[in-house]
């Protein structure tokens, strides 16, 4: 589908399309549908729709050659193709709406896409209208509440696009790499009975309940003099620290040892978000382990429960579909500035900031394509 927008849209389409009944495109009413032929591609039947006064759509069913020929014909009429991001920049939409539409192009799952679509078409337009009315009535305490509620979702909103970092940590041979592969559903990392198999970080992005998750497998944690392995362990510890959640994997088939306690303490020093996982529950228990999520990376037992528990830690609450979200850093920053102005009852700053949020804006710099 090729969309033609602008005051000359009908005149341009007239030069590339002929209606079967020879009715000029200019006479087409809004939401009308015409059937006809492309003039530049003999025999090519297309449907033309008019969703808006200055917007026409040409629906082709040919292959890429037909679309290419159509684009060239349109360009020759003074309607060059525009990359979607450039097209979006020109839309007279308020910042939150445009942000949602922009991020929609980066959504990695259907769930995120649906959420962002709702942000653009329902959640933000409704909120801006409601908050605008509150502001006009001068109810600043109410506006403050509305802003605080939106800003409460910053962490959730950030991870619609940026994956949550989930790291597999553990002593050598507990089955971290096997667990990574099992959680991904394909073999990403090398698995071997020898301890100290994984040295480097092995990362792969997946989705849990429609949210992007980056899983990292790390080198087994132990005291060693081997320089390469030490480097791997150093890298692992850094990865633990940066994670949103650490899955601390223990081997349930071996008896609990002082080394396990030492490992858990080390993880705890790097990150407070730790979920203990007892792997190899298909084997008889070694005994002495604290209660934790039990899985078998080999048979797949308990993996779903592990995912649910991990996700519950990452996302303690889900927003309602109509809840507006601070979708990216610039939007979050603007909302915080506005909140500060509202809290301080600084009407000059509010008058300056509110239009930046609620009124259609042209950005100063172009985003990358
Ligand atoms: N029975 C059983 N064996 C498992 C399970 N998970 C892993 N293993 C075995 O344990 C051994 C070590 O598995 P890996 O996944 O390489 O362990 P790792 O923790 O990544 O080890 P390093 O990379 O050395 O730190 C392999 O022989 C696996 O087949 C499990 O759930 N049950
Ligand atoms: Mg490994």
Q: Tell me what pLDDT residue 200 has.
A: 83
181 within ligand 1 shell (Cβ under 6 A) = no
Query: Which structural domain, as residue segments, surrounds residue 232?
Result: 164-314
Take atom 7 of ligand 1 and give the residue whose Cα is closest: 175
3-state SS assignment for residue 316: coil
Same domain, 123 and 181: no
Q: Is residue 61 part of a domain?
A: yes
CA angle (77, 83, 86) in 5-degree steps: 100
The atom of ligand 1 lying closest to the CA of 172 is 25
Same domain, 262 and 332: no
Average pLDDT over residues 80-89: 85
Q: Tell me what pLDDT residue 364 has.
A: 52
Q: Tell me what pLDDT residue 362 has.
A: 64
Same domain, 172 and 308: yes
Q: What's the gap in Å between 299 CA and the centre of ligand 1?
A: 12
Q: Tell me what pLDDT residue 52 has.
A: 93
Q: What percent of the chain lies above the pLDDT cut of 70?
A: 98
Q: What's the gap in Å between 50 CA and the centre of ligand 1?
A: 60
With cut-offs at 50, 70 and 90, classify the pLDDT of residue 369: very low
Q: Is residue 89 part of a domain?
A: no
Q: Is residue 9 part of a domain?
A: yes
Q: Tell me what pLDDT residue 9 has.
A: 96
The atom of ligand 1 lying closest to the CA of 196 is 24
Model confidence pLDDT, tens digit, residues 253-297: 999 999 999 999 999 999 999 999 999 999 999 999 999 999 999
Q: Is residue 369 part of a domain?
A: no
3-state SS assignment for residue 171: coil
Q: What's the gap in Å between 42 CA and the centre of ligand 2?
A: 61
Long-range residue pairs from 297-303, CB within 8 A, at least 24 positions apart, any chain: 297/175, 297/178, 297/179, 297/181, 297/182, 298/175, 298/178, 298/182, 300/182, 303/182, 303/183
Same domain, 56 and 145: no
76 within ligand 1 shell (Cβ under 6 A) = no
Q: Which residue of 169, 191, 295 sits with most ligand 1 atoms within 8 Å of its CB, as the best mutation to test the pocket?
A: 191
Q: Which CATH number do you get for residue 177?
A: 3.40.50.300
Take atom 26 of ligand 1 and give the residue whose Cα is closest: 193
- What Å distances lie between residue 137 and 67, 117, 148, 191, 343, CA to CA? 52, 30, 19, 64, 16
Q: What is the mean pLDDT of the chain?
A: 93
Q: Is residue 363 part of a domain?
A: no
Q: Are 200 and 189 in contact (CB under 8 A)?
A: no
Q: 183, 217, 145, 190: which is closest to 298 by C-alpha?
A: 183
Q: Are 135 and 354 in contact (CB under 8 A)?
A: yes
Same domain, 270 and 284: yes
Sheet holding 202-208, edge to edge: 202-208, 211-217, 164-170, 245-251, 274-279, 293-294
Q: Are 207 and 198 in contact (CB under 8 A)?
A: no
Average pLDDT over residues 61-69: 88
Q: Tell me what pLDDT residue 190 has.
A: 84
172 within ligand 1 shell (Cβ under 6 A) = yes
Q: Are 322 and 118 in contact (CB under 8 A)?
A: yes
Q: Are 200 and 232 in contact (CB under 8 A)?
A: yes
Q: What's the gap in Å between 281 CA and the centre of ligand 2?
A: 18
Q: 157, 128, 158, 153: which is closest to 143 by C-alpha?
A: 128
Same domain, 177 and 294: yes
150 within ligand 1 shell (Cβ under 6 A) = no
Average pLDDT over residues 105-130: 96
218 within ligand 1 shell (Cβ under 6 A) = no
The atom of ligand 1 lying closest to the CA of 283 is 1
Q: Tell me what pLDDT residue 352 has.
A: 97
Domain total of the chain: 3
Same domain, 197 and 118: no
Q: Tell me what pLDDT residue 87 has.
A: 82
192 within ligand 1 shell (Cβ under 6 A) = yes
Q: What's the gap in Å between 108 CA and the centre of ligand 2?
A: 27
Classify strands 164-170 and 245-251 as parallel, antiparallel or unpaired: parallel
Same domain, 105 and 135: yes
Average pLDDT over residues 59-64: 86
The atom of ligand 1 lying closest to the CA of 194 is 24
Q: Is residue 368 part of a domain?
A: no
The atom of ligand 1 lying closest to the CA of 192 is 16
The atom of ligand 1 lying closest to the CA of 180 is 15
Q: Is residue 168 part of a domain?
A: yes
Position of tokens 């259609």?
Answer: 360
Looking at 297, 314, 331, the residue that finishes a domain is 314
Same domain, 310 and 329: no
> Is the model's pLDDT at 345 over the cut of 90?
yes
Looking at 48, 81, 114, the residue that finishes a domain is 81
Q: Is residue 149 part of a domain?
A: yes
190 within ligand 1 shell (Cβ under 6 A) = no
Q: Among 31-45, 70-84, 192-206, where is mean pLDDT lowest? A: 192-206
Same domain, 187 and 122: no
């Amino acid at each position: 589908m090729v969309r033609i927008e602008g005051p000359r849209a009908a005149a341009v389409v007239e030069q590339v399309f002929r209606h079967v009944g020879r009715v000029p495109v200019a006479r087409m009413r809004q939401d009308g549908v015409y059937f006809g032929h492309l003039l530049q591609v003999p025999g090519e039947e297309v449907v033309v729709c008019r969703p808006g006064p200055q917007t026409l759509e040409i629906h082709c069913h040919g292959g890429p050659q037909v679309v290419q020929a159509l684009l060239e014909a349109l360009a020759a009429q003074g309607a060059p193709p525009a990359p979607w991001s450039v097209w979006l920049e020109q839309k007279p939409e308020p910042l939150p709406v445009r942000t949602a539409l922009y991020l929609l192009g980066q959504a990695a799952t259907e769930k995120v896409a649906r959420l962002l679509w709702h942000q653009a078409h329902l959640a933000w337009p409704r909120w801006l209208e409601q908050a605008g009315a509150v502001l006009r009535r001068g109810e600043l305490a109410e506006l403050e509440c509305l802003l605080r509620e939106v800003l409460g979702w910053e962490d959730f909103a950030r991870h619609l696009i940026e994956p949550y970092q989930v790291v597999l940590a553990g002593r050598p041979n507990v089955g971290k790499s096997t667990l990574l592969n099992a959680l991904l559903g394909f073999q990403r990392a090398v698995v071997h009975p020898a301890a100290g198999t994984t040295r480097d970080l092995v990362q792969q992005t997946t989705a849990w309940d429609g949210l992007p998750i980056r899983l990292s497998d790390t080198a087994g944690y132990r005291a060693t003099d081997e320089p390469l392995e030490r480097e791997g362990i150093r890298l692992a510890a850094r990865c633990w620290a940066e994670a949103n959640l650490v899955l601390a994997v223990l081997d349930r088939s071996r008896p609990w040892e002082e080394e396990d306690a030492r490992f858990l303490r080390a993880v705890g020093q790097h990150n407070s978000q730790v979920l203990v996982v007892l792997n190899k529950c298909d084997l008889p228990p070694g005994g002495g382990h604290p209660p934790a999520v039990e899985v078998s990376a080999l048979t797949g037992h308990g993996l779903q429960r592990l995912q649910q528990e991990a996700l519950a830690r990452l996302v303690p609450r889900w927003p309602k579909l109509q809840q507006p979200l601070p979708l990216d850093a610039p939007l979050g920053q603007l909302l915080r500035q506005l909140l500060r102005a509202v809290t301080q009852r600084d009407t000059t700053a509010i008058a300056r900031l509110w239009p930046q949020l609620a009124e259609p804006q042209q950005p100063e710099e172009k985003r990358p394509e």
